[in-house]
Each structure stands twice: as structure tokens, then as C-alpha cells.
Amino acid sequence: MSEFLVIPRQAHDQLVIQAYQSRGFTADEAAEGAKLAAEAARHGIRTHHALKALHLDHLFGSAAGGCTPGAEIEVLPSRFPASERWNANKKLGQSVAYRAINRAIELADQYGIAQIAVDNAFHYLWGGGYVMEAAERGYFAYTNCTSALAEVVPFGGKFPTLGTNPHSWGIPRGAANGFPIVIDWATSTVAMGRVQALKREGKPLPPGAAVDAAGQPTTDPDQVASLLPFGAHKGYGLSLINELMAAFIGGSLPTLRGRAIPPGEKKTPAFYFQIIHPEALSGGDFACGRSQQENLQAVIDDILGHGNDHAMLPGQLEAAARQRSDAAGGLLFTAAEVAEFNELAAELGLPPWDPASLAKG
Amino acid sequence: MSEFLVIPRQAHDQLVIQAYQSRGFTADEAAEGAKLAAEAARHGIRTHHALKALHLDHLFGSAAGGCTPGAEIEVLPSRFPASERWNANKKLGQSVAYRAINRAIELADQYGIAQIAVDNAFHYLWGGGYVMEAAERGYFAYTNCTSALAEVVPFGGKFPTLGTNPHSWGIPRGAANGFPIVIDWATSTVAMGRVQALKREGKPLPPGAAVDAAGQPTTDPDQVASLLPFGAHKGYGLSLINELMAAFIGGSLPTLRGRAIPPGEKKTPAFYFQIIHPEALSGGDFACGRSQQENLQAVIDDILGHGNDHAMLPGQLEAAARQRSDAAGGLLFTAAEVAEFNELAAELGLPPWDPASLAKG
């Protein structure tokens, strides 16, 4: 009847926290890593839950020198009161991102807009999670980062020199208006994981998504060497923004990220966070006597009206997944995922979750 | 040998200033309108030069109640020192935009990041021109606005409820690094003007660019009723950002813009401007002892290297057009455009430009 098993959040968090701590992460870091993983699972983001996070940490992070458990964030001196510059010293990305969002909110409360630029970072996984949290707290939020590997070919080129470089925006809606709007995607047409999935299913890629080893467009997943930006020169421009912002922050050559590097070089990604206080935007002159939030809802109703019943707001699928998770009383995982969590539990010397005794959701 | 005639900038500006003043605009407004028009022509932006600007003003602006010559910008009180809220009172969009960029730069010099939200605006034409100017002055710049008409169907819908809502980013490069990077495009796959051009040429649209009156995808320019966002749900999300930001500022229903409205309603677009001081981003830890600008150039060289000779930077075509204009000693227009300028001159009682005596460029 259902494909998912329900893991109570507390059980999930206990296991994930213990996994992070066994790798040397502090209690704070482990809790922040578990929180982002739980929120990803809760919102149906199956590509960025705990199993993926711990796998990435193993491949590129604490086991590979890319991430330093217990590292301290250095807040560098800045002459600009609405801006902070952080050296993350390769601290766990989720910890850095949650703290950056919190700090940027404090600054936006004072200045109306605020930014945090983060150098020497390690993967924060799901950018949408951070801007969603800020939007739920009532703020406009934005983040971008550079990806771990250069897999994307610039528009007009043939060799991959750009990351899949995601952008994430969160737009707040008052309690009466429903879920926060979260616009969150990579600047490649598809992710490399999607290419692997299509290969397994024996299906072609959409046109304009990838090139072969010679830099020629291909829809054959077996021939794919690199990805293409979405929307031709427009998505290319969006991918460039992350690389160039990172260049201003302290990121080095995109083709070095996630690879062996010459002495004196860097291969860390960079993060950028921005928060806007919605009151700082209000001209106070809304039509028909509406409040700011009523005006927002009227605009949304207009956009989705006029017969546009099949159009959706970004964030709607995530909100539906969250509702389903919350109704089920926990986080939803497939039987295969539960088996993988149980392998993790065994490594940590913890008892397994018994699929037969788990609720279905 | 050449398709263009060279109009000296001073002659262009005199004519355009006089045209604006004849419509009641102040000397300042006329000069700002002429400046944006000249910069658009100089950079090869043939869709937003003086003829287009004056035509738009006639259709939707000073002759139609959409733009008020001589209007004063009201700077509304704000408790947020890095943010300003402006009521443009339908002042000429170019004047408002140049002033907003200047003011946001002053604020970014103090706070590292700054924003100006503008309500009750009128079309500013070429967003790329404002962020390019800011980038030339050494700042990261961003602007978006809502378009005059709702011509774009939301992803999954069938009725146009979104503007072609452009985004413009300017990224500064030191003098040694060359032209500023300008990422500047509408969020529709093509503009309605492009549909008209394809219709005249008897050519099909690219797939995924437009729908017919029933909301079904079409590539036949004769059947096009509305446009589609570029990049499916991703471009849709980017178009939503402009509408929702405008909703927070004071914009009303997108389908009312540029149309007859019920009492109590508004149909003005909104503008958003943001400036970042690049020093506020720097983590000060660039690989191989590079400066921030040297690091930027190294990243760009990496992206465009590795055989990517045919890839370009956004802003490169505009920089080439500018070089050509400056080498020719003026602004380049077609004979048909010069004839149109001469009609304008005749209306104003000014002598025409003699095509035979104009240099070719």
C-alpha cells in the first residue's frame, strides 16, 4: 500500500548524531548535520538526506581532508557593518550554513539587508533547507555556493569548467498564506545522479542536457562526459555568478575543486548568504488597502488564476512531502534506505530498526 | 561596405534631450533619458535605444498617464540604514534607475551591501545599462523589475500572468581585466519582438518558447498568443522572483499592468536595486598570493580555458559593440533608424541629419 517506512525523528537524529560524533564532529556539529538531514528527508529531498550527507563526508570530507571536525569559524574583521566575512576553516557545511543564516537575520533586523561571505567551506548539501528556514522566520533569503566538482561545460565550450552551482531563494509568506516559496535548483539541466539513473533505466536524456567526451551534444547516458547549463546562455550566466562570487570571496580555479592540487593552491568551495527584511522593501502603498502579506497573496492568486490550475508554486512539492511526513509522525524512507541505515547502526554498535515493527507512511 | 551610419553622440543627445523636453520632462530627466539611450546604442542594444524609449513613453508613459514628467522621488522613512524605500511617483524610469544605483553605491560604501526598493515606477528600459555602470565603478550590482505587460505563462499553466521580468547582474573587473561582466536577460525564452521578427521572416520559433490561444505549445509565430519562461520550472522561478518582490514593494496584480484598471487598483511596475562592495566579500585568502582581481581573472581563465575557445563571457558582445562605436567616433544606426530620427527632428522643428554627410561605421 505504501512504499515508505516511518522512522521517528528522534530515532533518526540519534543515529545520525552518533554517526557524526564517531567521525570526530562535536555535539553541535552533529546536531546541525542531523537537523539538515532530517529536514531534507521530511521535505522529500531524497538526494540530500543523511545517507547522502554521510557518504559525501566520507568521500570528500572528514575522511579525505576536505572537512575538519570541530573547526572554528573565524569571523574576519570588516569595515562594513551589514556584511561579515567568515573563514570556515573547512567546518561542517551544515553548521556553517545554519549559523550564517542566523547571523545574517540578526544583521538584516538592523540594516534591512545583510550578507555573509564564507571562504574555505565544505559542502552544505541542501541550500533550499537554509532559505526555507529563514523564510519560515519571515525573511527573504538567498544562498549560492560552488559545487564540489567541475562537471558543467560553459555555453559555447566543450570542456567542463563549472560546477552544477545551485541557487536557492526563500520567500516568506505569513501564516495565513501557507508554505514558504522555495526556488532551489542547480544550474545544470540535470544532475550527474540523474544521468546515472537514466543509464540504469535505459532511457535517453532530454536534449541540451549533456555532451560526450568530444564536447558534442548527446542524449545517450552511456556517452555522457559532462553536463550543460540549463537554458543555454542564461543558465550559463547563472552558473558563472557562483564561480565569480566565489572568486571574489577566495575560491580558486573551478577545475581544481575536489581534485589533487598543486602546492599553494586551494580546492575549497565558497558560500554566499543574503537576508532581506521584508519591511525594508515595503513602499506602504498597496492597492485596495491590502497589507503587504495580503498583497503578496493577491499577486500569487492572480498568477495561479485565469485557468492556470496546473501551475504550482516552487516549494509546493516540498510542503506536500512535509505534510505527509508530519502526518505519518516521522521521516519516510524506503526499505532499501532503512537497510542502509541499519548497516550504519551496526558499524556504530547500535541495534537495528526492525522494518516489521515500523509504521508505513 | 558597412550597414551603419555614425551619429556623433552630442548630436544624438541634443535631439533626444529636446524630444524629452518637448514632452514636459525636466532638463535632468531628459539628460538621463538621453544617456541611457546613448549607452544602449553604443553597446549594440538595438531594442532599447532612443527610438524605442520615446515610442514606449508615447504608448505607455507621458502621453498615457503612466509616467509623470518632473515627478519628484519621495524617499520614505526607513528604520534600516542599508535600505531605502522610494516612491517614484511615476518619474521617468531612467532617471530613477541612475539615481538608485548612485545612492545604493553610497550606502554600499558604508554597509558593504545596500538595496533600494522602488514603488510606483515607470519602465527603465535597459537594466544592463545600470548594472554595467555600477560594475565599471567597481561594484557588484543587481536589478530586477516587473515588465509593462503580462505576456508569459507560468510553468504548467496556460494563461499569461507574468511579465517577461528581466534580471540584470553586473560584475566588476579591474582595468587590467577588461570589460565588466553583464548578465542581463528576460525570463521568457524569447521576447514578443522576436516573435514579430520571425513572423516577418516566415521562420518558426524555437520549441518551448510560446503557446497558442488555447495554451498549447506552438512554434508557429502566427499562432503565438503568449510566451513561455526559459528553462521550464527554473526560468518560471526566476520570473516569479520579480513578481513577488514587486508584491512586497507595492506592485499589484500582474495581469493589470499596462491595462485599464478598476478603482483602487495599481498598474505600475516596481524596481529593485542592490549593490555589493567587493571588499565586503573578500576572505583575504587567495591561492598563490593573488589579489582579489587577479584571482577573479585566474578563475575566468580557467573557465574559458581547456579548449573552451568558443565560450564567451556575458557582456563580451556589448563590449565589442562599444569598441566599434567608440572607434567610429559616435553611435551606429541603420539608414532606416536615421530616417526615423529625422522624422522626430522634423516634429521638433530641427534640421535633419543628412545621411550622405554621415560617416559610415
pLDDT at B175: 82
Q: Which three cell numbers stand for residue B213?
A: 490561444
Q: Do A247 and B169 touch (CB under 8 A)?
A: no
Residue A168 has a pLDDT of 98
- Given the DSSP bridges, would you call strands B181-185 and B167-171 parallel, antiparallel or unpaired? antiparallel
Residue B302's CB is within 10 A of a number of other CB atoms, namely 20
- Cβ–Cβ of B81/A283 closer than 8 Å? no
pLDDT tens, position by position, B213-233: 999 999 999 999 999 999 999
Q: Is residue A253 part of a domain?
A: yes
| pLDDT tens-digit map of A15-72 | 999 999 999 999 999 999 999 999 999 999 988 999 999 999 999 999 999 999 999 9
| Rounded Cα–Cα distance for residues A164 and B299 (Å) | 16
A188 φ, ψ (degrees, to nearest 5):
-85, 155
CA distance A276 to B83: 9
Q: Which CATH number covers residue B90?
A: 3.30.1370.60
Measure the CA angle with vertex B293, ends B288 and B297; round to 5°: 75
Domain span at residue B241? 67-188+229-315
Residue-wise pLDDT for B99-110, tens only, equals 999 999 999 999
Q: Is residue A268 part of a domain?
A: yes
**Is the residue at B354 inside a domain?**
no
Angle between helix axes A9-22 and A335-347 (nearest 10 degrees) is 40
For chain A, residues with pLDDT lower than 50 are 1
Residue B298 falls inside a structural domain? yes
Residue B42 placed within a domain: no
Q: Give the pLDDT confidence score for residue B235 in this predicted structure.
A: 98
- Structural domain contains residue B178: yes
Q: What is the pLDDT of residue B3?
A: 85
Which residues between 14 and 33 in chain A have a beta carbon less than 8 angstroms from any beta carbon of chain B? none
ipTM of the complex: 0.97
Give percent of chain B with pLDDT exceeding 70.
99
Q: Please state the pTM of the whole predicted model.
A: 0.97
| Res A150: pLDDT | 96
Binary contact (B85, A281; C-beta < 8 A): yes
- The answer, yes or no, to whether residue B23 has pLDDT greater than 50, is yes
Residues 6+ apart with CB under 8 A from B44: B317, B318, B320, B321, B322, B324, B325, B332
Mind telling me how many Å the CA of A157 is from chain B's nearest CA? Answer: 4
Task: Enumerate residues 6+ apart whose C-beta is below 8 A from A232.
Answer: A155, A208, B230
Return the closest-CA partner of residue B129 out of B57, B201, B180: B180
C-alpha cell at A312: 504550482
The set of residues, in sequence order, having a beta carbon less than 8 Å from that of B32 and lying 6+ positions away, is B92, B94, B95, B98
In a domain, A342, yes or no: no
Burial A186-222 (b: 16+ CB within 10 A, else e): bbbbbbbebbeebeeeeeebeebbbbeeebeebeebe
Q: Is the model's pLDDT at B171 over the cut of 50?
A: yes
**Number of domain units in chain B:** 1
User: Which residues partner with B146 through β-bridges?
Assistant: none
From chain B, the residues in CB contact with A87 under 8 A are 283, 285
Nearest Cβ partner of B119 from A140, A247, A283?
A283
**Statement: residue B237 has pLDDT above 90:** yes
- Please indicate whether, in this complex, the C-beta atoms of A113 and B112 are within 8 angstroms of each other: no
Interface test with A, best of B73, B79, B89, B113 (most A CBs within 10 A): B113
- Residue of A190, A234, A300 to mutate, testing the B interface (most B Cβ within 10 Å of its Cβ): A234
Burial B82-111 (b: 16+ CB within 10 A, else e): bbbbbbbbbbbbbbbbbbbbbbbbebbbeb
pLDDT score recorded for residue B2: 62
**CA nearest A80: which of B136, B278, B293?**
B278
Residues 83-102, chain B: which have Cβ within 8 Å of A? Answer: 83, 85-87
Please tell me if residue B312 touches chain A, with a CB cutoff of 8 Å.
Answer: yes
A59-113 pLDDT tens trace: 999 999 999 999 999 999 999 999 999 999 999 999 999 999 999 999 999 999 9
pLDDT of residue A177: 85
What is the per-residue pLDDT across B64-86, written as a single tens digit (0 to 9) for each?
A: 999 999 999 999 999 999 999 99
Listed residue (B123, B163, B120) closest to B254, CA to CA: B163
Mean pLDDT of B196-206: 92
Closest partner CB to A299 (pick from B238, B254, B282): B254
Q: Which of B80, B283, B299 is nearest residue A280 as measured by Cβ atoms?
A: B80
Q: How far apart are CA B134 and CA B113, in angstroms?
A: 13
Mean pLDDT value across chain A: 96
Residues of A in contact with B280 (CB under 8 A): 78, 80, 83, 85, 115, 117
Which among B83, B117, B265 has CB closest to A287? Answer: B265
Q: Quick check: helix, strand or coil at residue B137?
A: coil
Is A339 within the bounds of a domain?
no
Q: Cα-atom radius of gyration of chain A, to the nearest Å?
A: 21
Minimum distance, in Å, between the CA of residue B268 and any CA atom of chain A: 11
User: Looking at residue B1, what is its pLDDT?
Assistant: 45
Nearest to A295 among B247, B285, B305 (CB): B247
Among B277, B284, B298, select the one facing A76 at the smallest CB separation: B284
CB-CB neighbors (< 8 A) of B164 in chain A: none
Are B296 and B177 in contact by the 8 Å Cβ rule? The answer is yes
* pLDDT of A2: 62
